[in-house]
């Protein structure tokens, strides 16, 4: 197995007051191969950020395992953890919130190197800072400025430079483009792609819709209410979505060419996203699914390989479950 990261039946539950349990991540499994980009897509509140934070070890896990390069992330010694944090870095949605406003760009980018004792020679460390600035499309004149002097896209570039300062192998990008103007989003995605090629990086790319993630991901997992509901190669996900939730997400993406008439039926999701404190019984998507049948409220659909490398959690594809599906009401 050439997987660099393996996530096996990962659960992350938070205990709230009054014995309530928030099931932010509730049984998620996938792997990521070296050099690959794996996308996780889902609405806000689906647990995708919590999954990312648990994978990098910011949160302990409730159940399951995260194996990085053969080592269990949640069972590492302090020394192993320190080394692991060099190898795996995270980029955040709001670079402004994650950049200290009182620090110069130079300080922001060099701080991780100081913590890890890399480039102890100050002059060499500064050269590395300048190199990183160039790598992300900025220049050395930016080094003495403060975060507020930059645009959103530039701030994200600073965040990326800082993440790269420890020469990581793996980057978790948690909605790195969601807060940016559409015109800037493609630039940042292209930058990340270029850096991946140049530095041999592996990415976990978290996004809240399917519009941009296609351009960077090799495979995509769709998450809903703490569960993965579909996982396949990104081209296949767009051409052959099987889960009703994926179909709804895809129908919400506008066709980019204004001259092409959009004849697709827009699938509107019914109702609100239920609370992960009290998720629906059976299939977590059933309260918003137009195909829901009796079995869906009692039986949790297993995450099954329906065709090669295409996993879906839905009773519509389980020959053993039959029911009164009203699927004819919805155009596919």
Binding flag, residue 246, Mg ion (CB under 5 A)? no
Cβ at position 46, least distance to ligand SF4 in Å? 14
Binding flag, residue 224, ligand SF4 (CB under 6 A)? no
For the sheet containing 71-72, what is the strand order?
21-33, 3-15, 63-68, 71-72
> Residue 138 in 3-state DSSP?
coil
Binding flag, residue 12, ligand SF4 (CB under 6 A)? no
> Residue 6 in 3-state DSSP?
strand
Binding flag, residue 49, Mg ion (CB under 5 A)? yes
49 binds, among ligand SF4, Mg ion, none (CB under 5 to 8 A by kind): Mg ion
CB of 276 within 8 A of CB of 223?
A: no
CA distances to 127, 146, 184 from 150, in Å = 21, 8, 13
| Closest CB to ligand SF4 among residues 183, 329 | 329
Phi, psi of 181 (to 5 degrees): -60, 150
38 binds, among ligand SF4, Mg ion, none (CB under 5 to 8 A by kind): none
- Angle of the 152-164 helix axis to the 122-135 helix axis, nearest 10: 130
249 binds, among Mg ion, ligand SF4, none (CB under 5 to 8 A by kind): none
Query: Which two tokens mark 15?
Result: 């205990």
289 binds, among ligand SF4, Mg ion, none (CB under 5 to 8 A by kind): ligand SF4
Quick note: the x/- pattern for ligand SF4 over 268-307, rule CB under 6 A, is ---------------x-xx--x-xx---x----x------
Interacting residues toward ligand SF4 by CB under 6 A: 244, 283, 285-286, 289, 291-292, 296, 301, 314-316
């Amino acid at each position: 197995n050439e997987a660099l990261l393996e996530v096996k039946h990962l659960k992350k539950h938070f205990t709230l007051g009054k014995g309530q349990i928030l099931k932010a991540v509730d049984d998620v499994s996938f792997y990521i191969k070296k050099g690959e980009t794996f996308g996780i897509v889902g609405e806000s509140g689906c647990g995708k950020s919590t999954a990312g934070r648990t994978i990098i070890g910011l949160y302990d896990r409730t159940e399951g395992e995260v194996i990085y390069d053969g080592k269990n992330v949640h069972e590492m010694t302090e020394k192993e953890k320190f080394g692991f944090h060099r190898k795996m870095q995270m980029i955040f949605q709001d670079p402004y919130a994650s950049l200290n406003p009182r620090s110069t760009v130079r300080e922001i980018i060099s701080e991780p190197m100081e913590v890890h004792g890399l480039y102890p020679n100050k002059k060499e460390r500064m050269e590395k800072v300048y190199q990183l600035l160039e790598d992300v499309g900025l220049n050395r004149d930016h080094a003495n400025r403060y975060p507020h002097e930059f645009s959103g896209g530039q701030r994200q570039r600073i965040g990326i430079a800082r993440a790269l300062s420890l020469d990581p192998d793996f980057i978790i990008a948690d909605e790195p483009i969601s807060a940016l103007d559409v015109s800037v989003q493609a630039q940042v995605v292209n930058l990340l792609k270029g850096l991946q090629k140049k530095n041999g990086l592996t990415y976990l790319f978290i996004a809240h819709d399917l519009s941009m993630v296609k351009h960077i991901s090799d495979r995509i997992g769709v998450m809903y209410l703490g569960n993965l509901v579909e996982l396949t190669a990104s081209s296949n996900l767009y051409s052959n979505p099987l889960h009703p939730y994926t179909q709804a997400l895809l129908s919400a993406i506008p066709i980019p060419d204004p001259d092409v008439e959009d004849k697709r039926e827009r699938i509107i999701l019914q109702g609100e996203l239920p609370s992960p404190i009290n998720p629906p019984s059976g299939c977590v998507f059933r309260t918003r699914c137009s195909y829901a049948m009796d079995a869906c409220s009692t039986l949790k659909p297993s995450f099954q390989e329906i065709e090669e490398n295409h996993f879906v959690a839905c009773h519509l594809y389980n020959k053993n479950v039959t029911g009164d599906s009203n699927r004819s009401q919805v155009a596919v």
